[in-house]
Amino acid sequence: MSMSSDMNTMGIGFVRTEQAPTLSPPASTVGIIGWARANLFSGPVNTLLTLVGILIIYIIVPPVWNFFIANAITVGKDRTECLVEIPGACYPYLVARFQQFIYGFYPEAERWRVNLTALLCFGSVAWLLIPATPRKSWMAAFFFVAFPVLAYILLSGAFGLPKVATSLWGGMLVTFVISIVGIVVSLPLGILLALGRRSKLPLVKLFSVIFIEFWRGVPLITVLFMAKTMLPLFVPEHLAPDQLLRALIGVALFSAAYMAEVVRGGLQAMPKGQYEGADALGLSYPQKLIFIILPQALQIVIPGIVNTFIGLFKDTSLVTIVGIFDFLASIQSSLTDPVWATPWTAFTGYGFAALFYFVFCFGMSRYSKFMEERLARSHKR
Amino acid sequence: MAVTEMGASSSVRKEARSSLLYDPKVRGFVFQLLLVVAIAYLVFTATTNAIENLKRLNLASGFGFFSNVSGFDITQKLIEYSASSTYGDAFIVGLLNTLLVAGLGIVLATLLGFVIGIARLSSNFVVRTLATWYVEIMRNIPLLLQLFFWYVAVLTPLPGPRQSLSFPGDIFVNARGLFMPAPIFGEGAWMMLAGLIIAPVAWFFIARWAKARQEATGEQFPVFLTGVALMIGLPFLGALLSGFPITFDRPVLKGFNFAGGMRVVPEFVALLLGLTLYTAAFIGEIVRAGILAIHRGQTEASNALGLRAAPTLNLVIIPQAMRVIVPPLTSQYLNIVKNSSLAAAIGYPDLVSVFTGTTLNQTGQAIEVIAVTMLVYLTISLSLSTFMNWYNGRIALTER
């Protein structure tokens, strides 16, 4: 056999004894060109889509870039510098109004209180959100119990701190106050409602279902209108809450219903064995919930809670409509200021507001995605 | 022996029974009783307070104000309405405006949302990236801010009527809105209308017949083309028979404003634009998730059967993805209905703006007005979700 094959090779004039050098693939299939051909221009339809896409980018990106970067006005004392023919963002207006966007009409001498509260708030939230930090339960206890009291004392004044009426609060301060109070109240309330909805007691269940479905079925604006106009009628005259508190109550009840549905998802995702195991150990109902079910169920729904919070954060802007001076309202009112009235002021103000909301919401949604992937990894078997 | 055992077990039972504190039935009963008492107490105090406060503020109660003259006009009305109409009429005008903007918003957001969702999964890098950024930007900026942007920054600064932007077909755009020719139906126009109504009904029955025939014999029938031909042909035939009774009332610049024609108020445009663009981002994500939930093998199998990309999507992927898409889509539709109430912020006369805003301010009857508004939204929400549940049940996987 080998003899004959040798004979055969001998019969042929040339046989390559080593492998030929590999040629690089054709230039049209590698590199940027190859990628573009495969992804962007693989057929007539695809080519058309690419061209339309590029056209859309061309229509949107250069004007936005020119407006906010290239043609922007960076220095000026009033509207005269910003009254230009070529559209350009009026940054001096933002700088002049910046303090009001953050604090509203909070007295200047007392603003350190707002800063301190913000520091405490963002510090503890960061502690809770970063997975590596220790003693999360202590921090959670601080954030949900001690911090609200502390923040109330700091912001509205007590124990020697001068009182600051909530009608003076405004800007980002109010936006954060509403969303933080919303989450701090709605999470425990939502947990109770979710437990109520899964309860075996018919009346508890009925009450929870009606409560949840009612708030989920009506728009937040009507809730805010209700809190503004109806709530004061239901309490004795001397107890009538101030405007901000009314909105806070409305937002908290509204988001509690949404939170309840998120938490219910976590409770339902718990395997039955967890409940039965806790029962078999002889744990009472509160013990079962606190030590077995809730720690696991809440961990599953962290992404859902963050998503609800994103929605809540965006929805706080609705309080503008019932006359509360939140961040969006501070932008809106600055547009009517004759000192800065130019054709480009509105675009500048809304651009800044959009950036503010986008940074927070996008950041949180990234975080929720990160947690989702982390959970998915730890749940893999 | 047996007797003592019996005695022991009965004594155990007696002991268990003796401690009412640990009887789940008794506990449940007591717990629920407490809840009922607490709620009853809340309701009772709230009612007595309300009665006292109403007396103190000298406010009327009851629904009598519905037949009082409202005294305010509304910029957009689908029925006859003027300042001398009643609050009840104002309520209906507002409700119809809400339904109009929400209905159109649902249709447009669904169309755009499906396009965005499919574009998010495109193999084309440019299209995919554009769709991704669209979704990320739109859903991370509050709807109210977007509405303000469209209304205050884009539509209000448009030139006045004299410098209107004009488009072919007598369409004018200016700060007061969008002006279009309005059709006027003359005598015999009912024949066209009849054509418009008969055509979709005929389309439906032809589709049913064609499907039955295809299942029986395998023969296909060009249902879509026939349907389109009917939709265009029947009204045209009607018009031909009645001698083209339609004339157009064109908007004409008279003095400082346009007269005649049809006017779409800028508030409506801003609200519809905002609702559509915002919700389309969410629907896009839902559609994308629904398509991703379908196994790749389905695409490969339909390719193996020789289906091209479009029929694969239409006949294989979308029908299955719909099962995943419909439940979250329902809540987006509900969101459109609820979010249309943001109209109050830019002055579009929807239910909240007309009724919870102006009517409440004028009558001061907060409890009645808000209760009615909430009831309306609850009714819309519940009926829409009932319909979508029915649809969901119809397309759900029938397991044999």
Chain B CB contacts of A229 under 8 Å are 360, 366, 370
Q: For residue B201, what are the contacts with CB-CB under 8 A and spacing of at least 6?
A: none
Name, in order, each residue with C-beta under 8 angstroms of B357's C-beta and a sequence gap of 6 or more.
B344
Assigned token pair, B150: 């469209």
A residues 254..283 contacting B (CB < 8 A): none
Mean pLDDT for all residues in chain B: 82
Longest dimension (CA), chain A: 115
CA atoms within 13 A on the CB side of A182: 28
In 3D space, the residue among B336, B317, B323 whose CA is nearest the CA of residue B391 turns out to be B323
> In sequence order, what are the residues at sequence separation of 6 or more whose Cβ sits closer than 8 angstroms to the Cβ of residue B31?
A201, A204
Residues 155-174, chain A, touching B (beta carbon < 8 A): none
B390 or A54, greater pLDDT: A54
Per-residue model confidence (pLDDT) at position B4: 46
Helix ranges (H only) for chain B are: 2-18, 24-57, 87-120, 125-139, 143-148, 189-217, 223-242, 266-292, 296-304, 309-311, 318-339, 343-346, 351, 360-363, 366-395
Is B343 a residue whose pLDDT tops 70? yes
Residues of A within 8 A of B140 (CB-CB) are 310, 314, 357-358, 361-362, 365
pLDDT in tens, B350-362: 888 888 888 888 8
Averaged pLDDT, A285-300: 86
pLDDT grade, residue B7 (50/70/90)?
A: very low
Is A170:A114 a contact under the CB 8 Å cutoff?
A: no
Measure B167 CA to nearest chain A CA, in Å.
20
Q: Is A274:A145 a contact under the CB 8 Å cutoff?
A: no
A200 contacts in chain B (CB < 8 Å): 28
Residue labelled with tokens 């700060």: B175
* Predicted-complex ipTM score: 0.84
Largest Cα–Cα distance of chain B, in whole Å? Answer: 112
Give the Cβ contact number of residue B367 at 10 Å.
16
User: Taking 80 as the threshold, does the pLDDT of residue A183 lie above it?
Assistant: yes
Q: Vertex A373, ends B139 and A257: CA angle to 5°? A: 50
A54 touches chain B (CB under 8 A): yes
Check CB contact under 8 Å for B140 and A365: yes
Confidence label for B282 from pLDDT (cuts 50, 70 and 90) = very high
Least confident of A37-46, B16-25, B88-97, B156-165: B16-25
Q: Which of A5-9, A42-46, B3-7 has the lowest mean pLDDT?
A: B3-7
The whole-model pTM stands at: 0.83
Q: Which two structure tokens, joined as six digits, stand for B128?
A: 């995919």
Note the pLDDT tens digit of each residue in B107-127.
999 999 999 998 998 888 889
Q: Which of A132, A122, A149, A128 is nearest to A140 (CA)?
A: A128
Polymer length in residues for chain B: 400
- Identify the closest residue of chain A to B344 by CA–CA distance: A321
Q: Which fold has domain A91-106+164-379?
A: MetI-like fold (1.10.3720)
Q: Which residues of A touch B360 (CB under 8 A)?
A: 225, 229
Least confident of A142-156, A364-378, B182-196: B182-196
Q: With pLDDT > 90 as the criterion, what percentage of chain B qualifies? A: 18
pLDDT of residue B2: 45
Judge: B141–A357 Cβ closer than 8 Å, yes or no: yes
Mean pLDDT, residues A60-84 taken together: 82
The 8-class DSSP code of residue A104 comes to: B
Question: Region A41-60: what's the mean pLDDT?
Answer: 87
CA distances from A16 to A1, A115, A197, A201, B157 (A): 21, 79, 79, 86, 79
Per-residue pLDDT at B53:
79
Residue A140, Cβ density class (10 Å: 0-12 exposed, 13-18 middle, ≥19 buried)? middle
What number is the average pLDDT over the span B374-386? Answer: 87
d(CA B293, CA B287): 10
**Edge-to-edge strands, sheet with B171-174:** B165-167, B171-174, B177-180, B262-264
Distance in Å, alpha carbon of B146 to nearest chain A alpha carbon: 8
Q: Is A326 on the interface with B (CB under 8 A)?
A: no
Chain-chain contact of B148 with A332 (C-beta, under 8 angstroms): yes
Q: Which amino acid is at B99?
A: L
- Report residue B398's pLDDT band, with 50, 70 and 90 as the boundaries: low
What are the chain A neighbours of B116 within 8 Å (beta carbons)?
Answer: none
pLDDT tens digits along A192-236: 999 998 888 888 888 998 898 889 889 999 899 888 888 888 887
Question: Taking CB atoms and an 8 Å cut-off, how many pairs form between chains A and B?
Answer: 151
Task: For residue range A152-169, list pLDDT tens digits in order.
Answer: 888 887 787 777 777 888
Token pair recorded at residue A198? 């899964």
CATH 1.10.3720.10 domain position(s) in chain A: 91-106+164-379
Query: What does the pLDDT average to over B19-45?
Result: 83
Contact state of B49 with A40 under an 8 Å Cβ cutoff: no
The answer, yes or no, to whether residue B15 has pLDDT greater than 60, is no
Structure token digits, residue A257: 């219903």
The pLDDT assigned to B125 comes to 87
Q: CB B370 to CB A225 under 8 A?
A: yes
Mean pLDDT, all residues of chain A: 84
pLDDT average, residue stretch B387-392: 79
Residue A89 and residue A70: Cα distance in Å, rounded?
Answer: 9
| Inter-chain residue contact B31 with A201, CB threshold 8 Å | yes
What's the confidence (pLDDT) of residue B6?
A: 47
Residue B151 and residue B157: Cα distance in Å, rounded? 9
Q: B182: which strand partners? A: B249
Sorting pLDDT into bands at 50, 70 and 90, what band is A1?
very low
Residue B78's pLDDT is what? 74
Contact call for residues A269 and A297 (beta carbons, < 8 A): yes
pLDDT at A350 over 80: yes
What is the arithmetic mean of pLDDT over A279-296? 88
- The residue with tokens 């059967």 is B305
Percentage of residues in chain A having pLDDT higher than 90: 13
Residue B184 reports pLDDT greater than 80? no
Positive or negative torsion for Cα A170, B335, B372, B78: positive
- B326 close to B392: Cβ distance less than 8 angstroms: yes
Lowest mean per-residue pLDDT among A292-306, A360-374, B182-196, B203-217: B182-196
The residue-averaged pLDDT of B171-192 equals: 76
Torsion of Cα atoms, B251 then B252 then B258 then B263, to 10°: 0
Q: Burial code of A184-196, b = ≥16 C-beta within 10 A, e = fewer?
A: bbbbebbbebbbb
Whether A214 contacts chain B with CB within 8 A: yes
